[in-house]
Copies of this chain bind each other. A is one copy, B any other.
Amino acid sequence: MVTTTGISDRYRIETKQLDMPPRLLLGPGPANVNPRVLSAMSISPVGHLDPTYLALMDEIRDLLRYAWQTENELTISVSGTGTAAMEATLANAVEPGDVVLVGVKGYFGNRLVDMAGRYGGDVRTMTKPWGQVFSLEEIKTNLENHKPAILALVHAETSTGACQPLEGVADLCHQHGCLLIVDTVTSLGGVPLYIDEWGIDLAYSCSQKGLGCPPGASPFTMSSRAVEKLNNRPKPVPNWYLDMTLLAKYWGEQRVYHHTAPINSNYALRESLRIVAEEGLEQRWNRHQQNAEMLWSGLAELGLSCHVDREHRLPTLTTVRIPDGVDGKAIARKLLTEYNIEIAGGLGELGGKVWRIGLMGYNSRPENVLLLLDALEKVIK
Chain A residues close to B by CB (< 8 Å):
1-4, 6-15, 18, 20-23, 25, 27, 29-30, 32-33, 38-50, 52-53, 56, 59, 62-63, 65-66, 69, 71, 79-84, 86-87, 111, 114-115, 118-119, 192, 194, 197, 206, 208, 214-216, 236-241, 257-265, 267-268, 270-271, 274, 277, 280-282, 285-286, 289, 315, 336, 342, 344, 347
> Which B residues touch A4, using CB under 8 A?
192, 281-282, 285-286
CA distance A348 to B274 in the complex (A): 37
Contact A59 B342 (CB under 8 A): no
CA distance A235 to B25 in the complex (A): 37
CA distance A239 to B2 in the complex (A): 39
Contact A118 B281 (CB under 8 A): no
Contact A277 B13 (CB under 8 A): yes
Contact B3 A192 (CB under 8 A): yes
> Which B residues touch A11, using CB under 8 A?
62-63, 65-66, 71
Partner of A238, one of B18, B118, B257, B259: B118
Please tell me how many copies of the chain the complex holds.
Answer: 2
Contact B44 A13 (CB under 8 A): no
CA distance A119 to B91 in the complex (A): 13
CA distance A80 to B81 in the complex (A): 8
Can you name 12 A-B residue pairings with CB atoms under 8 Å? A2-B286, A11-B71, A20-B53, A23-B44, A27-B47, A38-B42, A45-B208, A46-B342, A79-B80, A80-B241, A81-B261, A81-B262
Contact A262 B69 (CB under 8 A): no
Q: Which residue of B lies closest to A194 (CB)?
A: B6
CA distance A341 to B74 in the complex (A): 31
